[in-house]
């Protein structure tokens, strides 16, 4: 059976076909769509609004931010959430200098990592490049300092403020790292070195043996150097803490990072505020002459919480406290709640000094391994080394002072 279809119309016919006549609009719809003629009163009102509104200058960034804020002018960034602007006192220059270049070259040649680079520390140019001698220090002495990061550059934890890469299964430990670290430090001829590490929860001892071995290697190669070990919490295992504390270090450091309320938000879920205090207390019991901790401000803490954290630290026997401004390393990390004013850092320093800490470094750019603190500790330890028990006695008095403050607060 053959199906016949009507022949298609020629293309020319379809293109030249007349359009359908438009339907007339109802009168009420035509009136609704019509644009009303502006009245003289409306024109005057619109002109008045334009005259009272912002000018072009209001949309241009003011060279004086304080004046802009005083006049009520705010910037709106389309497609972004509001965030505080970086103050001028937190801006640093690009690192340069021969010391900086030499340290970077040695680190690369020996395959070593530094927290200075991994954490994007704003003080890297000052610490690596050296600078003017500190008070009471020889003008010709090198002041360059680097914080060596042991056990690789991949951490098993993921704190919200930290830019170090994370993984559940980092690469295995480098057995030559302790010797390479000792070699690099001997080349630099420094008087003080800070060792830190990534967390290695994948290892049975969390890396305590590797840490202790590195300290011992440094002391064999450079007996006069002072070593600070900035460790993780070793999951609170006493034997691991003891092993590092008894390896020959001079300062045992572990960071509380923030106040107790914010610890679950700021740090990895495996990190606990009370556990960190216990780590520092145990390190002191195991023989560490000086213990140290650090706090970041600008993450949502309140003043009373900072003061209470100081008291908790002193009660745990901590000798040295540093406080600094949290700086968001990348857009993927926790945002800065606010930029703390330098005057507020000065206030916290006065409070901590009054409590009885051996030393307090407090300022926007201060970090846990800030060079000013290291120079002070170096001088204090060398000066007090011959006097033996002065260090222990001084910190015991400070701890007792903290307990008294705590009881007074409860009362």
Q: How many other β-carbons are positioned within 10 Å of the β-carbon of residue 120?
A: 15
User: Is residue 196 a contact partner of residue 118, using CB atoms and an 8 Å limit?
Assistant: no
Low-confidence residues of the chain, pLDDT below 70? 1-44, 50, 52-146, 368-376, 378-411
Number of domains in the chain: 1
Please report which helix (H) or strand (E) contains residue 216, including its range. Answer: helix 208-221
Q: Is 259 helix (H, G, I), strand (E, B) or coil?
A: coil
Would 45 be classed as within a structural domain?
Answer: no
pLDDT given at position 24: 65
Q: Is 29 helix (H, G, I), strand (E, B) or coil?
A: helix
- Output the average pLDDT for the chain: 76
User: Is residue 195 a contact partner of residue 181, using CB atoms and an 8 Å limit?
Assistant: yes
pLDDT given at position 70: 47
Would 161 be classed as within a structural domain?
Answer: yes
Would 314 be classed as within a structural domain?
Answer: yes
User: Is residue 292 a contact partner of residue 251, using CB atoms and an 8 Å limit?
Assistant: yes
User: Is residue 372 a contact partner of residue 361, using CB atoms and an 8 Å limit?
Assistant: yes
Would 199 be classed as within a structural domain?
Answer: yes
**Residue 153 CB burial class (10 angstroms; 0-12, 13-18, ≥19):** middle
159 contact partners, CB below 8 Å, separation of at least 6: 257, 266, 267, 268, 271
Q: Does residue 257 come out as left (phi exceeding 0), alpha (psi in the -120 to 50 range) or beta? A: left
Q: Which two three-digit tokens encode residue 83? A: 């965030």
User: Is residue 178 a contact partner of residue 210, using CB atoms and an 8 Å limit?
Assistant: yes
Would 219 be classed as within a structural domain?
Answer: yes
What b/e sequence results for 270-300 when a residue is b if at least 16 CB atoms lie within 10 Å of its CB, and e otherwise? bbbbeebbbbbbbbbebebbbbbbbbbbbbb
pLDDT given at position 59: 54
Q: Is 127 annotated as a binding residue?
A: yes
User: Is residue 86 a contact partner of residue 339, using CB atoms and an 8 Å limit?
Assistant: yes
- Cα separations (Å) of 116 from 22, 92, 104, 130, 136? 75, 14, 11, 14, 26
pLDDT given at position 224: 87
Q: Which two three-digit tokens encode residue 85? A: 């602007």
User: Is residue 155 a contact partner of residue 267, using CB atoms and an 8 Å limit?
Assistant: no
List pLDDT tens digits, range 180-189: 999 988 887 7
Q: Is 162 annotated as a binding residue?
A: yes
User: Closest by alpha carbon to 142, among 375, 370, 366?
Assistant: 375
Rounded CA-CA distance 232/254 in Å is 6
What b/e sequence results for 95-113 when a residue is b if at least 16 CB atoms lie within 10 Å of its CB, and e otherwise? beeebbeebbebbeeeebb
pLDDT given at position 244: 98
Would 35 be classed as within a structural domain?
Answer: no
Would 387 be classed as within a structural domain?
Answer: yes
Beta strands in 123-241 (DSSP E): 147-150, 154-155, 165-166, 192-197, 226-230
Find the domain containing 363 and state its range: 96-410
List pLDDT tens digits, range 346-361: 999 999 999 999 989 9
- Cα separations (Å) of 190 from 41, 99, 276? 80, 12, 29
**CATH (domain of 210):** 3.20.20
pLDDT given at position 191: 76
Q: Is 121 annotated as a binding residue?
A: yes
Would 12 be classed as within a structural domain?
Answer: no
């Amino acid at each position: 059976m053959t199906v016949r279809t009507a022949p298609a119309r020629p293309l020319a016919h379809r293109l030249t076909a007349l359009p359908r006549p438009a339907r007339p609009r109802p009168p009420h719809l035509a009136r609704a769509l019509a644009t009303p003629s502006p009245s003289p009163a409306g024109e005057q009102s619109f002109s008045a609004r334009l005259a009272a509104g912002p000018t072009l200058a209001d949309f241009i960034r003011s060279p004086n931010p304080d004046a802009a804020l005083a006049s009520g002018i705010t910037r709106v960034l389309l497609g972004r959430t509001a965030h505080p602007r970086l103050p001028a006192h937190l801006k640093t220059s690009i690192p340069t200098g021969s010391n900086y270049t030499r340290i970077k070259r040695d680190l690369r040649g020996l395959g070593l990592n530094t927290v200075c680079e991994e954490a994007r520390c704003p003080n890297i140019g000052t610490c690596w490049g050296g600078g003017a001698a500190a008070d009471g220090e020889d003008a010709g002495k090198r002041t360059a300092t680097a914080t060596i990061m042991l056990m690789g550059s991949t951490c098993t934890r993921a704190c919200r403020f930290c830019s170090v890469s994370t993984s559940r299964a980092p690469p295995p430990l480098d057995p030559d790292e302790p010797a390479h670290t000792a070699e690099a430090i001997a080349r630099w001829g420094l008087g003080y070195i800070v060792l830190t590490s990534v967390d290695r929860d994948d290892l049975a001892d969390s890396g305590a043996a590797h840490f202790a071995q590195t300290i011992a290697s440094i002391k064999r190669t450079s007996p006069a150097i002072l070593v600070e070990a900035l460790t993780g919490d070793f999951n609170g295992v006493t034997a691991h803490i003891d092993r590092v504390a008894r390896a020959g270090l001079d300062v045992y450091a572990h960071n509380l990072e923030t106040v107790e309320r914010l610890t679950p938000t700021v740090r990895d879920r495996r990190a606990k505020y009370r556990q960190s205090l216990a780590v520092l207390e145990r390190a002191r019991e195991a023989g560490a002459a000086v213990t140290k901790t650090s706090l970041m401000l600008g993450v949502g803490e309140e003043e009373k919480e900072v003061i209470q954290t100081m008291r908790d630290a002193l009660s745990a026997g901590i000798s040295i406290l540093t406080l600094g401004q949290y700086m968001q390393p990348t857009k993927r990390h926790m945002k800065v709640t606010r930029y703390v004013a330098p005057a507020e850092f000065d206030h916290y320093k006065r409070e901590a000094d009054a409590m009885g800490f051996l030393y307090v470094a407090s300022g926007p750019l201060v970090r846990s391994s800030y060079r000013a603190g290291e120079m002070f500790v170096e001088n204090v330890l060398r000066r007090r080394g011959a006097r033996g028990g002065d260090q222990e006695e001084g910190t015991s008095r400070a701890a007792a002072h903290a307990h008294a403050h705590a009881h007074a607060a409860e009362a």
